[in-house]
């Protein structure tokens, strides 16, 4: 409304997305680095794509809920419908379908894109998150699931998790289909059955049973893992690799494209009993591009749930800024000299920030401390004359006289460079 008084802009970020101040960025980078290192240790190669995709990509075969309620879609200036990717799987399928004949199989790919979903923000769910995607293409056999679930397990351990901090639950859509086939008129009802199964844990048992009876005209019947040889084989092979999995006959997962084994990793902490990440096999996604089928198994691991897990289990890394040393100045006339010293030290590999303000030395030290910069030294008349500096380690208040040449090696020794 026009009121004559300009409304001040809010400093809050858009609903459900995050700002990353340096200390948040430190944790974010730690999470992404751990993901990257672990994926690469298993021979996965990094790829990327634009955050913008044609809207049809998600309408062809994904999840009804995501497409109709959770996508950010807009019309561009050329009248094209564009979606901010809500997940990475359709993008990687599109990229591989485009080069289907040239692929060197088995192909292992990973990416850590930010993805967008219009969801009600709550613990573990935001409107933008970063998601590690690891996918293994070209393997029809259970070896693919074995590798992918082992990788998921090793990722948890790379974050410092112990075995009983998390649980890997596994199910098979093929098994579900075989068990419930007689209840369905045709395959198109299967996604609805999966959605109902998926909600079972969130419903009263009676409500679930009557909803089932009403929809499928028969009483609900339990599924046995022993009915499905691949699940047995998977369990045995993973046990050999010291990876524990649990069969969960209600695990369905949201996306329509999964074709067989699905899995999900859960936090076991009583106050954070939630799903951390998951995935499964999707052998037919390339069909939407009219490309030759390509078997695929993979998962997506979000940074938000990982961060919650790290907090819950006391596994958060202690913050360390990327700056090693702060150069304080006796007064502003020494800023030039400090800049010169900074250049010299940067050449030696140190990360150095210089005071630029007319502040007392004591206040400069406080600033450096507030920023958690570990080392500080003062540039003044005496120091310039002797080319020797009092190097102070702020955390321990340890102080020592160090000649110019020795500053970098001294700091590098302390910070383990
Ligand atoms: P998804 O289960 O929808 O699967 O997402 C994977 C993970 O991303 C979730 O388990 C969670 O960690 C994180 N995540 C999802 N939505 C949100 C949200 N709104 N806020 C925060 N974190 C979220 C997929 O997206 C599949 N494309 C994964 C996949 C890859 N399957 C095979 N390959």
CA dist., res. 411 & res. 395, Å (int): 13
- Pocket residues: Cβ below 6 A from ligand 1: 87, 89, 117, 119, 125-126, 129, 131, 133, 135, 254, 275-279, 298-302, 304-305
Q: What is the pLDDT of residues 309-336, one digit of tens each?
A: 999 999 999 999 999 999 999 999 999 9
Locate the ligand 1 atom nearest the alpha carbon of residue 135 and give its number. Answer: 33
Nearest CA to ligand 1 atom 16: 125
Nearest CA to ligand 1 atom 15: 302
**Mean of all residue pLDDT scores within the chain:** 94
**Has residue 405 got a pLDDT over 60?**
yes
Least confident interval from 87-96, 282-291, 401-410: 282-291
The residue whose CB lies within 8 Å of the most ligand 1 atoms, and thus the one to mutate among 94, 265, 300, 303, is 300
Q: Are 137 and 109 in contact (CB under 8 A)?
A: yes
Q: How far is the CA of 210 from the centre of ligand 1 (A)?
A: 30
| Alpha helices, H only, 42-137 | 56-59, 64-65, 89-98
Protein residue with least CA distance to atom 29, ligand 1? 299
Distance 301 CA to ligand 1 centre (A): 6
Nearest CA to ligand 1 atom 17: 125
For the segment 200-206, the average pLDDT, to the nearest whole number, is: 87
Q: What pTM, to 2 d.p., does this model score?
A: 0.94
**DSSP run (H or E) holding 169:** strand 166-172
* Lowest pLDDT segment from 161-175, 189-203, 232-246, 323-337: 189-203
**What atom in ligand 1 is closest to the CA of residue 306?**
12
Q: Whose CA is nearest to atom 25 of ligand 1?
A: 87
With a CB cutoff of 8 Å and minimum separation 6, the contacts of 355 are 326, 327, 328, 329, 335, 338, 364, 367
Q: How far is the CA of 117 from the centre of ligand 1 (A)?
A: 10
Give the model confidence (pLDDT) of 91-114 as tens digits. Answer: 999 999 999 999 999 999 999 999
Residues 53 and 158: their CA atoms lie apart, in Å, by: 32
Say how many Å lie between the CA of residue 165 and the centre of ligand 1.
Answer: 20
Residue nearest atom 24 in ligand 1 by C-alpha distance: 300
Report CA-CA distances (Å) from 78 to 49, 54, 81. Answer: 21, 12, 9
Give, to the nearest 10 degrees, the angle between helix 143-158 and helix 22-41.
140
| Residue 262 Cα to chain centre, angstroms | 19
Spatial separation of the C-alpha atoms in residues 46 and 299, rounded to whole Å: 15
The CA 293 to ligand 1 mean position distance, Å, reads: 23
Nearest CA to ligand 1 atom 21: 125
35: CA distance to ligand 1 center in Å? 15
């Amino acid at each position: 409304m026009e009121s004559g008084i300009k409304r001040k802009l809010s400093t809050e970020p858009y609903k459900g997305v995050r700002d990353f101040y340096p200390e948040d960025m430190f944790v974010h980078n730690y999470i992404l680095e751990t993901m990257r290192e672990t994926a690469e240790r298993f021979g996965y190669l990094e790829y990327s794509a634009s955050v913008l995709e044609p809207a049809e990509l998600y309408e062809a075969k994904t999840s009804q809920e995501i497409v109709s309620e959770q996508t950010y879609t807009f019309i561009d200036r050329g009248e094209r419908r564009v979606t901010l990717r809500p997940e990475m799987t359709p993008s990687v399928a599109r990229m591989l379908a485009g080069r289907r004949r040239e692929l060197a199989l088995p192909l292992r790919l990973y990416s850590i894109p930010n993805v967008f979903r219009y969801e009600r923000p709550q613990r573990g769910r935001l409107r933008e998150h970063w998601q590690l995607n690891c996918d293994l293409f070209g393997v029809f056999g259970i070896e693919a699931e074995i590798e992918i679930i082992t990788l998921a397990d090793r990722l948890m351990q790379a974050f410092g998790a112990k075995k009983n901090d998390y649980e890997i639950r596994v199910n098979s859509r093929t098994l579900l289909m075989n068990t419930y086939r007689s209840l369905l008129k045709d395959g198109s009802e299967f996604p609805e059955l999966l959605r109902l199964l998926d909600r079972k844990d969130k419903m009263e048992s009676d409500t679930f049973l009557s909803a089932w009876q009403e929809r499928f005209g028969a009483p609900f019947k339990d599924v046995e893992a022993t009915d499905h040889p691949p699940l047995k084989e998977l369990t045995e092979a993973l046990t050999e690799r010291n990876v524990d999995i649990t069969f969960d006959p209600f695990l369905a997962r949201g996306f329509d494209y999964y074709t067989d084994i699905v899995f999900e990793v859960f936090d076991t902490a009583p106050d954070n009993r939630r799903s951390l990440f998951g995935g499964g096999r999707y052998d037919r996604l390339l069909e939407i591009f009219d490309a030759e089928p390509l078997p695929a198994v993979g998962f997506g691991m979000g940074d938000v749930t990982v961060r919650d897990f790290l907090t819950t289990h006391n596994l958060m890394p202690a913050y360390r800024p990327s700056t090693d040393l702060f150069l304080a100045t006796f007064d502003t006339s020494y800023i030039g000299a400090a800049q010169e010293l900074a250049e010299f030290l940067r050449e030696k590999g140190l990360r150095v920030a210089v005071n630029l303000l007319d502040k007392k030395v004591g206040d400069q030290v406080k600033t450096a401390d507030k920023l958690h910069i570990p080392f500080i030294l003062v540039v003044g008349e005496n120091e310039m004359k002797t080319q020797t500096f009092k190097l102070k380690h702020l955390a321990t208040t340890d102080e020592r006289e160090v000649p110019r040449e020795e500053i970098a090696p001294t700091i590098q020794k302390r910070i383990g460079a």
